[in-house]
Structure 1
Amino acid sequence: MAFRSPFAAVPRQLWGNATTSTLRSTSLKSLVSRGLATAVPPVTQNSVGSKGPTAMVFMNMGGPSTTDQVEDFLSRLFSDGDLIPLGRLQSYIGPILARRRTPKIQKQYADIGGGSPIRKWSEYQCEEMCKILDKISPETAPHKPYVAFRYAAPLTETMYNQLFEDGFGNGKGGRAVAFTQYPQYSCSTTGSSLNELWKLRNRMEGKRADGEVDQAGAIQWSVIDRWPTHPGLVEAFAQNIEAQLQTYPEDKRDKVVLLFSAHSLPMSVVNRGDPYPAEVAATVHAVMQRLKFSNPYRLCWQSQVGPSAWLGAQTQDTVMEYVKRGQTDLVLVPIAFTSDHIETLYELDLEVIEEANSPGVKRAESLNGNPTFIQALADVAHDHLQKGEPCSAQMTLRCQGCRSERCLEQKKFFAGKRLSSLVL
């Protein structure tokens, strides 16, 4: 039975090492006990126009840290028209759907330890990255870590208020980098987070009389909007795959099938021109190049819900079909996630792998606290800071079939004066 995540029975645009036995090394309880998410002292912005301090803001969907937070999480999620377009009554329908889904989703979070570890991993990753940035980019130091989740605490608005408290914006200026933790761009994930950030920026820092949103003393934003083939990201994935392949007998190792799994999208979103499928495929190809194409592989897609057509083939169906054909040595690789959350710990570990009922079906470790991955984050951020670009050129294009004025205006804002003419 495939995992029917919080969005089951509703059309959506969503994104959402090791087998279950390895969860002991990556669980929330383990992370907390090791004290990985330690607090970092605040940084005060005190020099308008200087290159530092720099706020580094990790953007992600987030997840409920406890089962008591599940309904609020689902309510925010179902109310997001960028993710799940439900029409004019969305603000009314969303909370109703959330309430109905809460008991089932609470049980799933209970089964993975009582909540999502995504906040702990995000805070740890961002803090560790900032420590490296302070060393390799002293001209933009100190770097202050922040996390902004779309549907769970800490929400984007909470993050923005914290920026104010720490001396950024509100007439004091300062630089902030919105760093998406979805390496591959989709309008449903990175796009939604940027729409929310843009909306709050306008509300909390205002506009000039002429309508410009570049008010003196406001936070100066730039965006790391995608990084699907960064060498450090590719290396981290490859190392985790190689580690899992070592658990197979040597004479079978090169015959193990690698199944890269990413969250699926409705075909309506794909046909609109969303770049996500192509960028995920680019990550997979880069990883296989690093592995010298040592094993047969396929890219498949997880978490299809509802009756509409979705991008396939589905991960659950792929695993069962290969096992039925006698190919029982498979390694699942969560290629679009930067840490464990419900779709790795529950869907892949507790549904797909258990249903396969074969000791040869395993999962590569998630990136989590991988030092190679942390270094990759720092390298991505350092490159961005050195270039001084507001965003990638790729972000200036809307999807071919996009008709959203909000998306258009958001892109113009983050592109800035230099690149805004490219926004179409």
Structure 2
Amino acid sequence: MSNPSVDDALTPYDAVLLLSFGGPEAPEEVVPFLRRVTAGRDVPEERLEEVAKHYHHFGGRSPINDQNRELLAAIEAELARRDESRPVLWGNRNSDPFLTDTLRAARAEGHLRICVVVTSAYSSYSGCRQYREDLAAATDELGLAAVDLQLDKIRPYALHPGFVAANLERLVEAVGTVDPKRATTTRLLFVTHSVPDAMDDTSGPGDGDGNLYIEQHLRAGHLIAQGLAERTGTTLEHELVFCSRSGSPRTPWLEPDINDRLAELAAGGVTDVVVAPIGFVSDHMEVVNDLDREARESAERLGLGFVRVPTAGTHPLFVEALVDLVEERAAEARDEVVVPAQADSGDVRPSICDSGCCPNLREARPALCGRD
């Protein structure tokens, strides 16, 4: 993406912002964090206390912030390797460092044109538009202090070759640990965060058919399973399952839940499962609690062998992909012709979201980095 007329491939950006969900880092932060996460959803206090037990099981500290610190350092190192050094800022939706504070400090330091990298790869309300709403809310809160800030988000990257390749590398290594003496029938389970059916039905462009959230996972899983067969000669029957369901039991959410599916597979003669959480970019609470603890306990109770594949995390291929995406967004900002990298022939989602894409079904809220 080099262009002799610009300083480097990140021009015109002054900084890169890593925008994430956030998490508590001490026991006393857990319930306030959960209140922020569920604000406006009428979640009973007793339900928050129940979810809080997941965090207290791990000492009241979510792993997500430490993982973001590692990812931030890895992005900085990759930028430096490319001679494209920029400050890499960090802001969270639900915990310190809060996005508004990060943007206020950025402006004070003279960082006015910022490329935003979100720690969510897939298209959906919670995975894309809600972050765009966060950006709009933060600039609104800053008022005149944000009048000269310009924030450009990278596109959804579930099918970027680097993200797919990083997940494939993790899977190849994990499959190599399956005990061939006991594993007579192994099933590969790709896992993601469940969302309400209605959120999946409306994921994607407003004039489309929806269900882009599921579609992207199925396409990514197919590519990764295909890559496993090509690399190792191991062909595993695979499927998509879900974890971390929450909300009212009267609201339909995507199924099957991984624990329910484990019981069905064990009853059907499967001896081992390889669990690949491709819906997550790092091993945060939904992974270490819902998979490493709860799903693993289910597998042990059912007599299933259980191997959990690490997430992309700070795999070099994933870090390189994120920087590639920032460079791609910078080229767009310079009005250059860009051919986005894609791991298959499906549609590439744009960095500027279409009108009505992945709408907020609860309330109308402004969102940046889109046409609405």
TM over 0.5: yes
Q: Within 2, Cα distance between the matches of 1:350 and 1:404? A: 32
Does the C-alpha gap of structure 1 residues 359 and 319 become closer, same or farther in structure 2, counting only changes over 3 Å? Answer: closer
Tell me the secondary structure at the aligned position of residue 189 of structure 2.
strand
Figure out how many residues of one structure are paired with residues of the other and give that number.
Answer: 336
Q: CA deviation at 1:245?
A: 0.8
Task: Look up the equivalent residue of 1:74 and give its one-letter code.
Answer: L
Where in structure 2 are the equivalents of 1:4-403 lying within 5 Å? 51=11, 54-79=14-39, 81=40, 86=41, 93=42, 97=44, 99-136=45-82, 138=83, 141-168=84-111, 174-206=112-144, 215=147, 218-250=148-180, 255-272=185-202, 273=210, 275-292=212-229, 294-305=235-246, 306-357=249-300, 358=303, 360-388=305-333, 392=350, 395-399=353-357
Does the C-alpha gap of structure 1 residues 372 and 387 become closer, same or farther in structure 2, counting only changes over 3 Å? Answer: same
On the 8 A contact 1:258/1:296 being kept in 2, the answer is yes
Q: CA deviation at 1:177?
A: 1.1
Q: Within 2, Cα distance between the matches of 1:267 and 1:404? A: 14
Q: CA deviation at 1:353?
A: 1.1
Q: Within 1, Cα distance between the matches of 2:52 and 2:266? A: 31
In terms of mean alpha carbon deviation, does 253-262 or 234-243 score higher? 253-262
**Alignment correspondent of 1:37:** none
TM-score scaled by length of structure 2: 0.81
Q: CA deviation at 1:292?
A: 3.4
On the 8 A contact 1:260/1:297 being kept in 2, the answer is yes
For structure 1, which runs of at least 5 residues remain unmatched after alignment? 1-49, 87-92, 169-173, 208-212
Q: Within 2, Cα distance between the matches of 1:403 and 1:51? A: 36
Q: CA deviation at 1:62?
A: 1.6
On the 8 A contact 1:222/1:389 being kept in 2, the answer is no
Tell me the secondary structure at the aligned position of residue 147 of structure 1.
strand
On the 8 A contact 1:228/1:282 being kept in 2, the answer is no
Does the C-alpha gap of structure 1 residues 325 and 359 become closer, same or farther in structure 2, counting only changes over 3 Å? Answer: closer
Deviations 1:93-123 (A, max 9, x none): 46xx3x4344433332232343111111112
On the 8 A contact 2:12/2:334 being kept in 1, the answer is no
Does the C-alpha gap of structure 1 residues 175 and 260 become closer, same or farther in structure 2, counting only changes over 3 Å? Answer: same
Q: CA deviation at 1:374?
A: 2.0
On the 8 A contact 1:112/1:342 being kept in 2, the answer is no
In terms of mean alpha carbon deviation, does 267-276 or 190-199 score higher? 267-276
Q: Within 2, Cα distance between the matches of 1:142 and 1:223? A: 19
Q: Within 2, Cα distance between the matches of 1:202 and 1:251? A: 60
Give the alignment's Cα RMSD to 1 decimal.
Answer: 2.9
Does the C-alpha gap of structure 1 residues 183 and 103 become closer, same or farther in structure 2, counting only changes over 3 Å? Answer: same
Give identity over the alignment, percent: 22
On the 8 A contact 1:259/1:298 being kept in 2, the answer is yes
Tell me the secondary structure at the aligned position of residue 259 of structure 1.
strand
TM-score scaled by length of structure 1: 0.71
Does the C-alpha gap of structure 1 residues 344 and 167 become closer, same or farther in structure 2, counting only changes over 3 Å? Answer: same
For structure 2, which runs of at least 5 residues remain unmatched after alignment? 1-9, 203-209, 336-348
Does the C-alpha gap of structure 1 residues 249 and 400 become closer, same or farther in structure 2, counting only changes over 3 Å? Answer: closer
On the 8 A contact 1:53/1:142 being kept in 2, the answer is no
